């Protein structure tokens, strides 16, 4: 009975090492997003959504299911937010802020840390055809 316990403990340790190795093999990046007006004033409480998309260099199969690939946060009073680590590759960034045009762009990120500075435009004037 004692041998079974040692065997089970050894097997659990091997599985833990394998999972850790897979997770460690996934190149991750930490993204800091700075959201400002065209004049450089920070935009408070802007919604920031980032989502990882697979590409040839960073396929989905390179990491486990336990790695998060989408985050939603809000900027602070300085118009900044730092996202939790996300896999490197194509990262779609979307910004929504009341009183400004929605921003969206895809960035290819192959660095451990990246700062993305975004300047939002004011809304366009509404036109009617009547």
Domain segments of the chain as ranges: 28-120
How far is it between the farthest Cα atoms of the chain?
A: 85
Regarding the domain with residue range 28-120, which homologous superfamily does it belong to in the CATH classification? Immunoglobulins (2.60.40.10)
Question: In this prediction, what percent of the chain has a pLDDT beyond 70?
Answer: 70
User: pTM for this structure?
Assistant: 0.71
Q: Is the pLDDT confidence value at 21 over 50?
A: no
pLDDT digits (tens, 9 = 90+) for 24-71: 567 888 999 999 999 999 999 999 999 988 776 766 665 666 667 889
Which residue, 48, 117, 38, 36, is CA-closest to 77?
Answer: 36
Q: Identify the H or E element spanning 82.
A: strand 80-82
pLDDT digits (tens, 9 = 90+) for 62-103: 566 666 788 999 999 999 999 998 888 899 999 999 999 999
The rounded distance, in Å, linking the Cα atoms of 38 and 117 is: 11
The rounded distance, in Å, linking the Cα atoms of 116 and 93 is: 9
Per-residue pLDDT band for 15 (boundaries 50, 70, 90) equals: low
């Amino acid at each position: 009975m004692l041998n079974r316990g040692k065997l089970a403990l050894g097997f659990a340790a091997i599985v833990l090492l394998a999972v850790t190795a897979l997770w460690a093999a996934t190149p991750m990046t930490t993204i800091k997003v700075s959201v400002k007006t065209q004049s450089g004033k920070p935009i408070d409480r802007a919604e920031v959504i980032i989502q990882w998309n697979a590409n040839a260099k960073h396929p989905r199969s390179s990491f486990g299911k336990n790695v998060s690939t989408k985050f939603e946060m809000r900027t602070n009073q300085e118009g900044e937010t730092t996202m939790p680590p996300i896999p490197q590759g194509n990262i779609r960034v979307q910004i929504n802020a009341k009183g400004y045009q929605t921003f969206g762009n895809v960035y290819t990120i192959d660095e451990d840390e990246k700062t993305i500075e975004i300047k939002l435009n004011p809304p366009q004037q509404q036109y009617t055809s009547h």
